[in-house]
Chain A
């Protein structure tokens, strides 16, 4: 690793060369910047990884079963395991998806599961991302670069090669496509914060990169349209557009990004949508609380990976605990994402704490509270060569196709502010490669 660290400047040059950037809107202006990369990789020993891998496969299988159940039989509600309020009041539960069976019954094809490692060494799941989790392209290209810059580092360490993400993606797309047509990645466009990822994944997986306006539904089938009315059928659509903008005839009518009547083609089984619309009901911060319970319910197994200790104000005991201990908890607004809507009780003034308590009393379903896990700090190399420590999480990617597979790597995001737990790139965080050791 030391050899790699010494090559930091070289690595950064290569990052520039490949345009590894992400876009940020600030005060209404789009700016593209290099995603800060730290060359000290997070290293996960084989034994740790085996447990993480088994836990992730178990979790994603249960989440897929949950989604299938929620949009069909609803046994988990009928059996009183999850209160119906948590389903129907969830911001991203979509009644338009009721009764629709996606190709091969897979709802979450690409699941981004956010984990943190506590100082005790235990891994906890912090969040499930089952809509359009992003970030895999960054460690993928970082590894391509670091292997060029310091080949001996990888020869001497038994690091699992992570450049197969695009193969996992293509295999999964082919599986749900079922030879119906093209594999397509739909991007909102150049000014989306993750455009680099959209274009890079399209290039590496061989999928067509389509922009709004280039796809249309005809006779309940999806087509990619070219010059002179040439068209080609689409079999699998990996959309990087959120549900509400996906189809103006089913969701947000003013959407200029979506494809009219796409839901109709999807409902008829004529196109696979990756990930399936309506998945937000399963990665809602309120639903998160129930994941270990759904693992037991659907798989009759105990959860291998634990959630961070979480409280729901919906339940009387939890409600009282939260109000009495708010200053030592982290409170999350279930309708927010990207690190927004997260408040640490210890950072609030007495007035603000009181205000937050009142909000929880008024809308208990809107909030969850968690014990603050003392993340293990990771070493970060500063520009001046010094080493500092910062909080970091790990987004692991689980691909569900013919089999459910965990990508042997992940996006390690770190906070650039001392003591901060907010690692999101949109809020200034950087990233590291994640090494999973083979031995």
Chain B
């Protein structure tokens, strides 16, 4: 007999699995971007990265320092560190093995193994994390290939897209990037209407439009972030 029921706890875990996995993927992309920026600029350019995430830097001058960089990679108490996000994705994934399949979960497990090896030697070279990026893409691809239950797919997608929009807004990405993710999220929302806060959709529709889009405006940014993070009812 096929199970058509999805429990509240499972929906919540699927949503956060999507969020944390996407956070790992995008954070690595952003770290690579800032490493590249530093080539032509200054090491303090990294401060933009930390500021956007709301991470407190350790000196008044907001100067990049090695400890901060390591914390951003490995410190599990730093909620935006790669290690913290990956561990949380893994924790949810382990519980959801039955629904996401062992094969999909294995990409998270392999990423964790690589990260632990890098942490042991305090690896700072961001290119060493490329396999994790590859595994995260494989993870999402594997879900598409192997998971057929639409509710399970939808909740993971919600999480993934909410995180995608959240991070891209924090980093002032242009409107067309945000719009694409938002339209996709709305499409999924139509499939699971009961789990979406309709009021928030109305508000976001008014905010995420070309004429209103103003990421540089902190008030606007915080308003969008607030609504997007309260959109899914799980």
Contacts and interface: CB of A to CB of B under 8 A. Distances in A.
A232 B109 contact: no
A211 B97 CA distance: 13
Interface string A157-185: 00000000000000000000001011100
Contacts, number: 74
B105 interface: yes
Interface stretch (B3-11, B64-72, B166-174): B3-11
Nearest to B12: A227
A199 B109 contact: no
A380 B143 CA distance: 38
B94 interface: yes
Interface in B133-168: none
B101 A203 contact: yes
A202 B6 CA distance: 15
Interface stretch (A14-22, A47-55, A257-265, A383-391): A14-22
Contacts of A231: 5
A190 interface: yes
A225 interface: yes
B109 A227 contact: no
B149 to A, nearest CB: 11
B98 A209 contact: yes
Contact of B5 (A17, A183, A213, A224): A224
B7 A199 contact: no
B5 A225 contact: yes
B1 A214 contact: no
B6 A227 contact: yes
Nearest to A141: B102
A226 interface: yes
Contact of A232 (B5, B8, B11, B94): B5
B4 A230 contact: yes
B57 interface: no
Interface string A344-372: 00000000000000000000000000000
Given A17-B109, A224-B3, A211 B9 contact: yes
Interface residues of B, number: 25
A200 B6 contact: no
A17 B7 contact: no
A183 B5 CA distance: 13
Nearest to A14: B106
Interface in B90-134: 91, 94-95, 97-99, 101-102, 105-106, 109-110, 113
Nearest to B233: A227
Given A17-B109, A18-B109, A226-B7, A200 B1 contact: no
Contact of B7 (A202, A214, A235): A214
B152 to A, nearest CB: 12
Considering the complex of A and B, which 9 residue pairs feature the smallest CB-CB distances, nearest first? A226-B5, A199-B97, A202-B98, A209-B98, A203-B98, A17-B106, A19-B109, A232-B5, A214-B7
Interface of A: 16-19, 179, 181-183, 190, 195, 199-200, 202-203, 208-211, 213-214, 224-228, 230-232, 235
Given A190-B95, A214-B7, A235-B1, 15 more contacts: A16-B113, A179-B1, A182-B3, A190-B91, A199-B94, A199-B97, A199-B98, A203-B98, A208-B98, A209-B98, A224-B7, A225-B5, A226-B5, A226-B7, A227-B194
